[in-house]
Each structure stands twice: as structure tokens, then as C-alpha cells.
Chain A
Amino acid sequence: MEYFAIVIGAIFVNNIVLAQFLGICPYMGVSAKVSTSVGMSGAVLFVMTLATIVTFLIYNYVLVPFNVTYLQTISYILVISSLVQMVEIMLKKVSPELYQALGIFLPLITTNCAIMGVALLTVQNEFTLLQGVVFAISHAAGFALAIILFAGIREHMDLMDLPKAMRGAPAALVVAGILALAFMGFAGLV
């Protein structure tokens, strides 16, 4: 039941993009086509889960015992960026197909605040490791849901006759606002 609440809460109620405003850069940047947004979602799922596990271990077994929790920000960003590099190198060797699919999205992820945000939230909520993993996977699923829905709408929007000033970013943001309005309907579910 507890895990169920985490999953529903992360995907619908506190959707990472539309309610918590994390990961807006990739949300705006790679959502022009459904296919690229699926690739980005895959990369986010992969890195977010790994990063949450690694930062959880670092926080509880290095930072807390040595009483240096103020180094959290520095250590997390270093761990996440080296993790992304390592994943990229390993994927290239182990699974070239997956690398082909996720390749270009991996470097972009280092500056994706969603990854760092979920790692920080896991500590803030005092989750156990298993809860943290479930939390990360459901947040990644929420990201996927939001970005794929948005890309679907944007593909249709290209065909519309919008006023010149609205074209591009302004229209995309207003659509994201309406999507956020729709997601507010889930408030109070958990």
C-alpha cells in the first residue's frame, strides 16, 4: 500500500514536470517529436534509477558517518556527471543497440535537474533504498507520461494556424499550462 501511494503520487499527483517543475529543459527541448521523447524518457529512466541508488549509498554510508552532509550538493553533482559518462562508455561496449537509441540523450541528462532533484528528494523524504528505487522509477514514468503526451500535442500543433507571435515557445508553454491544469485533477488522490 505504501509503495502504491509512492507510485501514484509520483506519476500523477506530484508529476515531476507538471507539478514540481523539474526537468523543464529536456521537456521543452526534445519534445518536438514523439520518437525522440520516447528515447529521452528511456535515458531518464535508466540514469535516474542508477543515480538514486548510488547517491543513496553515498549519502548514508559516506556523508552521514563522516558528518559531512554539507558536501551533499558537490558530491551529488560529481557522482551524477561521472555516472553519466560511465554509463555512456559501458553502453557503447556492452549494448551498441541501446547506445544507438539513447546515445545523444545521455550527455544532455547531466544538466537535467530532474535527476538531481529526485536524488535530493529521496534523502529529504527519508526513504529506504527500495522505496527510493520505486520512487525514482515512478518519477521517470511520470516524466515519460508528461513528455510523450506533450510531444503528441506538439506534433499536431505544427499544422495549426497560430498567430505569429504565439508560434514556438509561447504556444508550447501555454499548452504545457493546460496540461498541468489537467493533471491538477489528480490532486488529493493519495
Chain B
Amino acid sequence: MSQWKNFTKGLIKDNPVYILLLGLCPALGVTTSAFNGLGMGLATTFVLLGSNIVVSLIKNLIPDKVRIPSFIVIIASFVTIVQLTMEAYMPDLFDSLGLFIPLIVVNCLVMGRAEAFASKKDTLSSMIDALGMGLGFALALTMLGGLREILGAYSIFGIQLIPGVSDGMLVFVLAPGAFIGMGYLIILFNYLKKKTA
């Protein structure tokens, strides 16, 4: 498999959220706006990149029996880095993502890539895999956040689409909109996957 294919597989073909159905909790929980979705997506990408690099570098040093706990410690360290950095430099985003920042540690996407990819492949491939999967995750969250923001507040990234009108369909900002919006985006991605395959 060429590295280019390795990179692009996460965007549509194996999109972590819409095709593999991984990491649904943050995908539904934080996507009240496109900006929140993008922030969460990039935070997860950073954790994924860090943990994939470290895991692939030390994969030969970890005894097979304790590999899962070791992965958990590596992932949790990167999550703590993100948590402290974001609290210091982006307090607003930190407040709106809230509980879901520490919960990156139990995101099955991060653990899944460490176990299925980084613990078997070389460092360069693991880096590219992490970037592709992370950006696919960020794309998925930004799309869902954008959809909910457009329908719920008639704005995108905080920019009003119709001047003077700011209260849209409230249901899309609230919990039900997340589920319903994701259901239809899964249909879209299944269609895109079939189209490009």
C-alpha cells in the first residue's frame, strides 16, 4: 500500500466516525458548532499522532502481555498534555469541550489505531496513518458541527448566514439533532464510499 493511500483512507473509505463508527461519544457530544467540532478533531489528531509515534517506536520493548496497559498510559499522557495546554491557551474552547477532553483517553479510535496499526508497522507509516485517521475524524466532527450550526443557528464558524436572523431550529443544537444529523451523514458517507470504490 502506498503512503498516499495510507493517508487518504481515513477521509472517506475508512472514515473513523461514519464508516467505522468509532469515537461516537465525542462526535455527538461536542459538535454543537463547527468550531467546537474542529477543535475536538484536532485535539484527538494530536493525541493519535503522539501515541502512534511512541507506540511504534517502543513496540519491541513492550512485553506482549502488558501491551494494553502500556498503550493506555502512553495515550493518557498525551491527553494530559492536550488538557493542560488547552486550559492555558484556549480556555473558551476548553470550557465548551468540557468533560470530553479527558475522555479522549477512552476514545476507541485512539486505542484501536495503537493496537491494530502502530504496534505492527514502522514509525513513518504509523505517523501517516495517525494523520490520515485524525484528519478524517476532524473532518467528520467539523461536518456534523457545521450541519448542526447551519440548521440550528443559521451560521457557520460563528458567521451569520442571514443577517439579523440568529435563532434557527433549536432542536439541531440540542441532543436529538446530533443523533439525527449523524444518521443522515452516515448515509451520505456510505454513498460516497460506494461512489469512489
Q: Which residues of B contact A22 (CB under 8 A)?
A: 25, 29, 103
A183 to B174, CA, bound (A): 12
Minimum CB–CB distance from B120 to chain A (whole Å) comes to 20
**Chain A contact residues: helix, strand, loop or mixed:** helix
Judge whether B99 and A117 touch: CB under 8 Å: yes
The interface size bin for chain B is 35 or more
The interface bits of chain A over 166-183 (1 if a CB of B lies within 8 angstroms of the residue's CB, else 0) are 100111111011101101
Judge whether A24 and B99 touch: CB under 8 Å: no
One of A124, A170, A183 near B184 (C-beta < 8 A): A170
CB contacts between A and B, total, < 8 Å: 109
One of A81, A116, A177 near B178 (C-beta < 8 A): A177
| B48 lies within 8 A of chain A by Cβ | no
A19 to B177, CA, bound (A): 11
Q: Which of A80-134 contact B (CB under 8 A)?
A: 81-82, 110-113, 116-117, 120-121, 124
Judge whether B183 and A77 touch: CB under 8 Å: no
One of B28, B105, B171, B176 near A73 (C-beta < 8 A): B105
Partner-A contacts on B (CB < 8 A): 21, 24-25, 28-29, 68-69, 72-73, 76-77, 79-80, 83-84, 99, 102-103, 105-108, 111, 171, 174-180, 182-184, 186-187, 190-191
